[in-house]
Amino acid sequence: MAYADERYPLHGITPTETYLSISKIVEAATKTKCDGVHPGYGFLSEDSSFVMACNEANLVFVGPTAEAISKVGNKLDARKTMREAGVPLIPGTDGPVKDENEAVEFAKKAGYPVILKAVYGGGGRGMRIAKTNDEVRRFYRVSKLEAASSFGRDLIYVEKRLTSPRHVEIQALADSGNVITLGERECSIQRRYQKLVEEAPSTAVNEELRKQLNDATKKGLSAAGYTNAGTVEFLVDQQNKFYFLEVNKRIQVEHVVTELTTGIDIVEEQIQTAFESKLNLSQNEVHVNGWAINMRINAEDPRRDFIPSPGAVIQFHAPSGPGIRIDSHLYSGYLIPEYYDSLIAKLSAWGRDRTEAIRRMQNALEEIEILGVPTTIPLYRVLLRDKAFVDGQFDTTYLNGFVANLNSELLDLGLYAAAIAAAMRSTNPPLRHRLQQRFHRSHWKTSARTSNHRRDM
């Protein structure tokens, strides 16, 4: 925000009072006389009513049309559109279940486990896995309450739960008559359905499966009359069969790994499509080069079941070096609020292959410093040494077992970070100066950018 030419306050504190207020955002856009609105990757970015409000105010909405959003706007509408396009679906209810008894009846027929989902949900909210009739009844009530709180609508439907699947998604760009795909992303490292680590390409996808996923994406988005950037998400089972999961009708947090491996600026393509109604490139101009990994740095404590950790950032130092990209608003002294998502930085590493990408990420994780609040950084430092991750042998259940076995190691790392943070608060100037020098030293520079880090980006 410090680099913005103009700033316009959305008066309020909570998301409902600010970034979920259509009237306030449209008012800000019209008062600043801007031409269009880019909705980012949260809040109203997938809300067709916001698109229509922008259109009524003569503002270009940088995203899909309201009509396209309505066809894939909620999970049930998306399933209907994909079914008609011939895309494989996970068995599930055709509509929202009217009560817990209907949910139980479906679960009995489909077989346990099942997953209860908020029709208008996203980001893992309103979702619960049930393994018994009693759990279906209990989680039905919990999911409805969470859905109503998070999305304003409490409709719930039920799907069969796949056993140990991989979560793979296809990034797409589309204009009025053309859908192109930019390759797949691997998103199986997640906690409570919240993605933590993403990479491109995926170790689970061979050329045959890649073609099938790309073809399904093009068919599904074409059937919806989709334009602009979007992502079609799939689950891949242990037999390499894939099933449609959902459509994300916006730019995604993890789009950076696609940009690093293709060299395509997805946000630029979004703006181009929104204002000119056509893409800058064709499918034969898309080439995947190398490997990229993204890690979401969250203000959460992995030692305490990932509890959010708002508070003051005492010290922030960003890593650097070939192939390293960091997207963050952090600075030393920044106060992380309690009202918004816990994501505070995205750290990405590119390499000529996966081994180099991992090695570069390891160096970057050693160099980055965020002191004052617990973060997921210690978890990632340990994760990158785990054999299953290094070998690319994991699924959506992997992180649960991994974290359960890490309590002692994460505790040691957490205590060390807490001790450093306490020292940084010290009123002893020489001590603070020595610590600042320590945390501003770049591992990349001191290693003279050795052979592990060859290649000018």
Chain centroid to Cα 317, Å, comes to 23
CA distance 146 to 243: 26
pLDDT at 407: 60
Average pLDDT of span 328-347: 94
pLDDT of 410 over the 90 cut: no
Residues 154 and 175 in one domain: no
Residue 391: inside a domain, yes or no?
A: yes
Residues 153 and 251 in one domain: no
Q: Which residues are registered as beta bridge partners of 231?
A: 171, 248
Domain end residue (candidates: 124, 141, 160): 160
CA–CA dist 142, 138 (Å, integer): 7
Domain boundary among 160, 187, 215: 160
Same domain, residue pair 129 and 266:
no
Mean pLDDT of 279-284: 94
The count of residues in the chain is 457
Q: Locate tokens 């293709």: which residue?
A: 262
Task: Answer whether residue 97 is part of any domain.
Answer: yes
- Do 318 and 364 reside in the same domain of the chain? yes
The last residue of a domain, from among 160, 179, 202: 160
| Tokens matching residue 318 | 């960003």
> Is cis: bond before 429, omega within 30 of 0?
no
Task: Report the alpha-carbon distance of residue 252 to residue 147 in Å, rounded.
Answer: 21
Residue type, position 48, single letter: S
Residue 272 within any structural domain of the chain: yes
Rounded to 10 degrees, the C-alpha dihedral 423/424/425/431 comes to 70
Name the residue range of residue 144's domain: 92-160
Same domain (yes/no): 256, 347: yes
pLDDT range class, residue 439, cuts 50, 70, 90: very low
Q: SS3 sequence, 107-150?
A: HHHHCCCEEEEECCCCCCCCCEEECCHHHHHHHHHHHHHHHHHH
- Confidence band (pLDDT; 50, 70, 90) for 177? confident
| CATH assignment at residue 303 | 3.30.470.20
Instruction: Answer with the residue of higher pLDDT: 402 or 297.
Output: 297
Question: Based on the domain organization, do 148 and 255 belong to the same domain?
Answer: no
Instruction: Tell me the backbone φ, ψ of residue 299, rounded to 5 degrees.
Output: -80, 75
Q: Give the pLDDT of residue 422.
A: 58
Q: Yes or no: say if 231 and 169 are a contact pair by the CB < 8 Å rule.
A: yes
Q: How many CA atoms lie within 13 A of 303 on its CB side?
A: 18
The CATH number given to whatever domain includes residue 108 is 3.30.1490.20
Q: Are 345 and 396 within one domain?
A: yes
Does the residue 27 lie in any domain?
A: no
Q: Are residues 191 and 146 in the same domain?
A: no
pLDDT, tens digit (0-9, with 9 covering 90-100), for 188-220: 999 988 999 999 999 999 999 999 999 999 999
The contacts of residue 344 (CB under 8 Å, 6+ apart) are 297, 298, 299, 328, 329, 330, 336, 370, 375
| 457: confidence class by pLDDT, cuts 50, 70, 90 | very low
Residues 156 and 170 in one domain: no
pLDDT given at position 409: 60
User: Is 250 among the residues known to form the active site?
Assistant: yes
pLDDT the model gives residue 327: 97
Q: Do 256 and 155 reside in the same domain of the chain?
A: no
Chain centroid, CA 309 distance in Å: 19
CA distance 40 to 19: 11
Pair (278, 373) in one structural domain:
yes
Q: What is the mean pLDDT of residues 180-195?
A: 95
pLDDT in tens, 29-61: 999 999 999 999 888 999 999 999 999 999 999
In a domain, 426, yes or no: no
- For residues 306 and 378, give the distance between their C-alpha atoms in angstroms, rounded to a whole number: 12
Kindly state the average pLDDT of the residues 17-25: 93
424 within a domain of the structure (yes/no): no
Whether the per-residue pLDDT at 318 is higher than 70: the answer is: yes
Instruction: pLDDT band for 456, please (50, 70, 90 cuts).
Output: very low
Residue 218's Cα: distance from chain center in Å? 21
Cβ atoms of 74 and 151 closer than 8 Å:
no
259 & 407 share domain: yes
**Residue that the structure tokens 């990420």 belong to:** 361
pLDDT digits (tens, 9 = 90+) for 72-123: 978 899 999 999 999 999 999 989 999 999 999 999 999 999 999 999 877 6
Q: Is residue 297 one of the residues assigned to a domain?
A: yes
Total structural domains within the chain = 2
Q: What is the pLDDT of residues 219-276, one digit of tens each?
A: 999 999 999 999 999 999 999 999 999 999 999 999 999 999 999 999 999 999 999 9
Q: Which two tokens stand for residue 152?
A: 């304003």
Q: In the chain, pLDDT over 90 holds for what percent of residues?
A: 74
Catalytic option among 185, 250, 296, 360: 250
* Joined tokens for residue 40: 């980012």
Confirm whether 425 is domain-assigned.
no
